């Protein structure tokens, strides 16, 4: 199947029902308000990107959706019904799978074993029930190939794979176990250009399989390569929510950087010898992007 990166995802605004929806949702930890008034919809076969600087509330947002934390304001709906998960298991049962940056893998175990970790295939009647190793190997091999992931040897410890390959295995695993919504928390943060490309490719593959993807990232370039919708968080509130055809990569970059801050940075960098600021947008353009002038 085709697993090339779609640089121009479907631009039509989805008219189908969202699988997951937040309506003016917020979360307070005691008297710290980590998130406030955030609205977001996740549609099947679409990639929703959540961008924001450190402490913006991205992890808090996905913790609500993945059942680790509960919202304290607004609504959280799955299939149009209000929900309040108390454990990640409940989110999984609704088909919401989360791939955390520090992947929960056992580095010394083979790839195929990690693929089935916690959901092993067994054979034979109780009490002679045992792991169906052959079937697990075969299935993991097929599923990885279906996603276009080619590994030399599924017996190799998963710890020997590159970061991008490990993220890819985790994505294929979520697809295989029937996820409808796939949440990826900064999957490209620790990766180089090529490895990031690998992960973006499988994000596109998951989307093409009809999953609704929530892609958390700091990187507007990565977001723009696969995103259908972009939500930028700043200090716990949503400062931009725009469909792909409503925002350019340049605007998105400005929102992420905070136009004024980036302009100041550009000015500073220009004083440093050997730093090329030519590629950065013009200072006027940067400062023009104030929170008042945002799309919503
Ligand atoms: N368990 C907690 N108790 C108290 N405050 C918290 C808790 N978790 C997060 N916060 C606060 O909520 C705010 C948002 O944090 P969050 O981790 O969601 O940000 P983030 O966008 O994921 O940041 P990063 O890019 O650094 O991962 C921060 O000010 C953080 O200190
Ligand atoms: Mg975080």
Closest CA to 145 of 18, 47, 1: 1
pLDDT at 295: 45
226: its two tokens: 């696969």
Q: Which of 29, 216, 234 to mutate to test the pocket of ligand 1 (most atoms within 8 A of CB)?
A: 29
Cα–ligand 1 centroid distance for 64 (angstroms): 12
pLDDT at 280: 64
Residues paired with 26 in a beta bridge: 73
Which residue's CA lies nearest to atom 27 of ligand 1?
54
Placement of tokens 């700043």 in the chain: 234
The one-digit pLDDT tens for each residue of the chain (296 residues) are: 444 444 444 444 445 789 999 999 999 999 999 999 999 999 999 999 999 988 899 999 999 999 999 999 999 999 999 999 999 999 999 999 988 766 666 778 888 988 888 788 999 888 888 999 999 999 999 988 887 888 888 898 888 887 788 888 888 888 888 899 999 998 888 788 888 888 898 899 899 999 999 999 989 999 999 999 999 999 999 999 999 999 999 999 988 876 556 666 777 777 776 667 666 666 666 554 444 444 44
Q: What angle, rounded to 10 degrees, do the helices at 163-176 and 133-146 form?
A: 110
Q: Which of 50, 55, 63, 218 to mutate to test the pocket of ligand 1 (most atoms within 8 A of CB)?
A: 55
Nearest ligand to residue 69 Cα: 1
pLDDT at 102: 63
Cβ of residue 60 lying under 6 Å from some atom of ligand 1: yes
Closest CA to 248 of 207, 285, 278: 285
pLDDT at 275: 67
For domain 20-110+176-247, the CATH superfamily is P-loop containing nucleotide triphosphate hydrolases (3.40.50.300)
Can you give the residue ranges of every domain in the chain? Answer: 20-110+176-247, 258-296
Closest CA to 207 of 230, 235, 175: 175
Per-residue buried b or exposed e for 90-108, using 16+ beta carbons within 10 Å of the residue's own CB: ebbebbbbbbeeebebeee
281 touches 250 (CB < 8 A): yes
260: its two tokens: 């004024």
What's the gap between Cα 42 and its chain centre?
Answer: 12
The DSSP output letter for 110 is B
For residue 127, whether the previous peptide bond is cis, meaning omega lies within 30 degrees of 0, is yes
Q: Which of 25, 32, 237 to mutate to test the pocket of ligand 1 (most atoms within 8 A of CB)?
A: 32
Which residue's CA lies nearest to atom 24 of ligand 1?
54
Cβ of residue 59 lying under 6 Å from some atom of ligand 1: yes
246: its two tokens: 């409503």
pLDDT at 279: 65
Residue 87 burial (CB < 10 Å; 0-12/13-18/19+)? exposed
Spell out the alpha helix ranges (H) of 177-241: 193-208, 220-226
202: its two tokens: 């499988």
Computed on alpha carbons and rounded to an integer, the radius of gyration of the chain in Å comes to 21
Q: What stretch of H or E contains 165? A: helix 163-176
pLDDT at 284: 61
pLDDT at 49: 96
The answer, as to whether pTM is greater than 0.75, is yes
Give the whole-angstrom CA distance, residue 75 versus residue 23.
5
Closest CA to 21 of 45, 49, 42, 46: 42
């Amino acid at each position: 199947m085709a697993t090339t990166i779609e640089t121009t995802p479907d631009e039509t605004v989805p008219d189908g029902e969202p699988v997951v929806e937040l309506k003016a949702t917020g979360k307070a930890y005691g008297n710290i308000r980590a998130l406030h008034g955030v609205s977001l919809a996740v549609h099947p076969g679409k990639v929703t990107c959540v961008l924001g600087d450190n402490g913006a509330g991205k992890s808090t947002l996905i913790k609500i959706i993945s059942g680790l934390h509960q919202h304290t304001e607004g609504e959280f709906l799955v299939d149009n019904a209000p929900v309040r998960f108390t454990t990640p298991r409940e989110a999984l049962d609704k088909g919401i799978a989360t791939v955390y940056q520090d992947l929960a893998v056992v580095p010394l175990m083979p790839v195929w074993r990690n693929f089935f970790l916690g959901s092993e295939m067994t054979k034979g009647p109780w009490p002679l029930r045992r792991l169906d190793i052959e079937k697990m190997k075969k299935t993991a091999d097929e599923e990885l190939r279906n996603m276009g992931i080619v590994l030399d040897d599924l017996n190799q410890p998963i710890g020997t794979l590159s970061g991008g390959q490990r993220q890819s295995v985790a994505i294929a695993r979520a697809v295989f176990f029937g996820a409808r919504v796939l949440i990826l928390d900064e999957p490209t943060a620790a990766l180089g250009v090529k490895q990031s490309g690998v992960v973006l490719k499988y994000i596109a593959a998951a989307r093409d399989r009809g999953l609704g993807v929530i892609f958390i990232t700091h990187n507007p370039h990565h977001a723009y390569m696969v995103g259908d919708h972009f939500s930028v968080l700043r200090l716990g509130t949503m400062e931009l929510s725009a469909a792909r055809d409503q925002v350019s990569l340049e605007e998105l970059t400005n929102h992420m950087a905070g136009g004024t801050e980036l302009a100041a940075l550009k000015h500073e960098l220009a004083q440093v010898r050997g730093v090329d600021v030519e590629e950065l947008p013009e200072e006027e353009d940067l400062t023009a992007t104030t929170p008042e002038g945002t799309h919503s």
